[in-house]
Amino acid sequence: MKPKTNFLSSILLAVLAIGLAACGSGSGSSGGATGSTAAGISLAPMNVTVTVGQSATFSVTASGTPPFTYQWFNNGADAGTNASTYVIASATAQDTGAQIKVQVSNALGSVTSNPVTLTVNTNVVPVGNATVLTFHNDVARTGQNLNETILTPANVNSTNFGKIGFLTVDGLVDAEPLYVSGLTVSGAAHNVVFVVTEHGSAYAFDADNLGAPLWKVSAIGAGETSSDDRGCSQVSPEIGITSTPVIDPHAGAHGVMYLVAMSKDGNGNYFQRLHALDITTGAEISASPTTIQATFTNQSGQTTFAPQQYKERAALLLLNGVIYTTWASHCDDGPYTGWIIGYNQTTLKQTSVLNITPNGSDGAIWMAGDGPAADSSGNFYFLAANGTFDNTLANGLPENGDYGNAFMKISTTGNNLSVGDYFTMFNTTSESNADQDLGSGGEILLPDLQDGNGNTWQLGVGAGKDSHIYVVNRNMMGQFNTNNDSAIYQEISSNGIVGGAWATPAYFNNTVYYGAVGDSLRAFAIVNAKLVAPAGSHSSAGFAYPGTTPSISANGTSAGIAWAVENGSGGVLHAYDATNLGNELYNSSQAPNGRDSFSDNKFITPMIANGKVYVGTPTGVAVFGILP
């Protein structure tokens, strides 16, 4: 028996030695209580790549008999951390190349991991001058670029300014182009314009050399095509990438652009996918893409997200590390409800789901391409379209959780989505029944405003098909009253906008700019934290359906220009003095011999960056700037 025991012991010791060698060098002893084993490493630390200023986290998973102690080393020096994770709170350029390893110990021995490497990417995109990372410039959706030093009211005219180029792409451009300055692509610095199409493609162009793209990729799966228009003419003839993406210049190794693409396969299956692309190459980052799937509990059990019934029309929102998607229907073709779905921007794993009409119907989130607007407390806001609203309330909230046709405030506390507050008009049901919904237009959040009594107000502004401008107090929105809208902060029902709103307003220098259907572009001054009606100035030109979503360029608070695109019978780009819309500085139809002509397109928001104006068309992006 004794020789057999020694033979088995030898085998056990050999296996243990092999295990320790696999994890790294280490020393230990066997012995102790029956069933106890020496420390080992079942999941070793991995290499980490971050950008300057980000935290770097290294983790280890121990095996063997607890308790364990941990000793981390950074370039051979004791890092002083006795935990299964080691965190460098804010990585610097000097940290790049650091060698990190950990020793795991228990009562029976210890083992040390092989070293891993920390890489700190110093190619950080300069956020600020000439950078447009999301729809309408910021998460408040104000539409103002306050860093424009080239274009001024003095040089924007048909003599000095006009169309200087065209970026050709493979499909309709419904999303607003985005812009990143000073980005290193293929070893050289470029100012880069990002364009996505309804054919499902994403492009990066050099903004200063308007030629072939720096890169182009497809977001359509293998063996798939972009979706058909689902029998709805609103986005036609194909649906690929409709909503404006969002860029995080500090994500991944070089910056990441997030977008949603719709596609179908040959068997009639439809897909919605969230993609994350490296902005220097267009390559999908790790975990990308992810397929959009969701369920939400309702009174009948649960409702399930059906990808063929929806399109991502509203722009994406990036808020506190989560990408929020909000969903619209194809025309009003049911069945559909109002979905909000959040995804972790690093892992692309679903973090949260909310349905705002779970026990009713409709409640799409259109907003003419505007995105949810976020405040500094982690709440976001949007306008819901016609749908079920529960007139019976419980503590002021719809008893069945159905919020169709409402101005919504959503809390993201704890990465859980919940309704924080809302407003809807007293006749909301009749307006929904008449398809006179609030959610045809977009919303913006205003900066904190002071009234004449020294009070500070945090306000949001939105309008829809009923031609009323609704101004809500974001801390007490007004909710629902069966008789009137007396609880809302301000409502402009006359001397405001003439037509319905299928567009998003803009804000600049205590002024809100609105371009309703069949109406002029109008500028409403803010005095004592209230919009003043009638408008202080307006354009001489009117804007046919869908009206116009203006954008503002300025150098701080000066040299303000309001830009607006006119749809119908050929597109027209207008530029107005932002202090007086009656003073038109330029429009593209003034140029001789059709020099500045371009094809019109619905729901187009002009993007201004670094002396140029970018306008989406059915076949590409028209680029305007100072003429050579």
Burial of 426 (0-12, 13-18, 19+ CB in 10 A): middle
**From CA 516, how far away is CA 530, in angstroms rounded?**
20
Strands (E), 209-285: 215-218, 224-228, 238-239, 246-248, 256-265, 270-278
In this predicted structure, what is the pLDDT of residue 120?
78
Q: How many CB atoms lie within 10 A of CB 487?
A: 16
**From CA 307, how far away is CA 319, in angstroms rounded?**
24
What contacts 196, CB < 8 A, 6 or more positions away? Answer: 173, 175, 202, 203, 219, 240, 241, 245, 259
Six-digit token pair at 590? 């003034």
Are the beta carbons of 135 and 607 closer than 8 angstroms?
Answer: no
Are the beta carbons of 387 and 371 closer than 8 angstroms?
Answer: no
Q: Please report where in the chains the tokens 């020099």 appear, as a residue.
A: 595
The dihedral through the CA atoms of 396, 398, 401, 406 has a sign that is negative
In the chain, what is the straight-line distance between the N-terminal and C-terminal CA atoms, in Å? 97
Mean pLDDT by 10 residues, the chain (628 residues): 41 38 39 72 84 75 93 91 86 84 93 90 49 97 96 97 98 97 92 98 96 97 97 96 97 95 98 98 97 97 98 97 98 97 97 98 97 96 97 94 98 95 97 95 97 96 98 98 96 95 98 97 98 98 96 97 92 97 97 94 92 97 96
CATH 2.140.10.10 assigned to 135-626: yes
**From CA 318, how far away is CA 535, in angstroms rounded?**
33
In this predicted structure, what is the pLDDT of residue 314?
98
**From CA 474, how far away is CA 136, in angstroms rounded?**
20
**From CA 8, how far away is CA 13, in angstroms rounded?**
9
Amino acid at 100: I
For the chain, the structural domain boundaries read 2-121, 135-626
In this predicted structure, what is the pLDDT of residue 89?
77
H and E: helices and strands count for the chain: 2, 54
Superfamily holding 2-121: Immunoglobulins (2.60.40.10)
Burial of 333 (0-12, 13-18, 19+ CB in 10 A): exposed
Are the beta carbons of 373 and 140 closer than 8 angstroms?
Answer: yes
In this predicted structure, what is the pLDDT of residue 52?
60
Q: How many CB atoms lie within 10 A of CB 334?
A: 11
Degrees (nearest 5) of the Cα angle 143, 149, 152? Answer: 80
Cα 3 to Cα 7, 8, 9, 30, 31: the distances in Å are 6, 9, 10, 19, 19
Q: How many CB atoms lie within 10 A of CB 7?
A: 9
In this predicted structure, what is the pLDDT of residue 34?
54
In this predicted structure, what is the pLDDT of residue 30?
38
Cα 388 to Cα 359, 421, 468, 512: the distances in Å are 8, 17, 21, 30
Are the beta carbons of 316 and 325 closer than 8 angstroms?
Answer: yes
Q: Please report where in the chains the tokens 């001789």 appear, as a residue.
A: 592
**From CA 92, how far away is CA 94, in angstroms rounded?**
5
Cα 237 to Cα 297, 315, 568: the distances in Å are 35, 20, 18
Read off the DSSP letter of residue 550.
-
Which stretch of DSSP H or E encloses residue 432? helix 428-433
In this predicted structure, what is the pLDDT of residue 55?
72
Are the beta carbons of 233 and 308 closer than 8 angstroms?
Answer: no
Q: Please report where in the chains the tokens 């159905």 appear, as a residue.
A: 402
Read off the DSSP letter of residue 272.
E
In this predicted structure, what is the pLDDT of residue 27?
39
Are the beta carbons of 480 and 426 closer than 8 angstroms?
Answer: yes
